[in-house]
Amino acid sequence: MTRVADDVTPARLANMSREFAASLRDTVRAEGRTRAWPLRGGVAEWDRLSAQLAQGWIPAP
């Protein structure tokens, strides 16, 4: 079998990639529910501060 690195086979690398992607999806889902917390003013305040502090920020619709 072809080796990607000394101790990682392509199949193991693919599996690790899928696990990492699943972890990212879970994080996005969890953070998406609380993205404006703990700011008073909720999502609108989050978007206002983001636009002010990170120029070029495009708030989610």
36 burial via Cβ count (<10 Å: 0-12, 13-18, 19+): middle
Residue 45 contacts by C-beta under 8 Å, 6 or more apart in sequence? Answer: 36, 39
For residue 18, the model assigns a pLDDT of 92
For residue 12, the model assigns a pLDDT of 87
Per-domain boundaries in the chain: 10-53
Mean pLDDT by 10 residues, the chain (61 residues): 66 90 81 62 81 77 62
For residue 19, the model assigns a pLDDT of 93
Predicted TM-score (pTM) of the model is 0.42
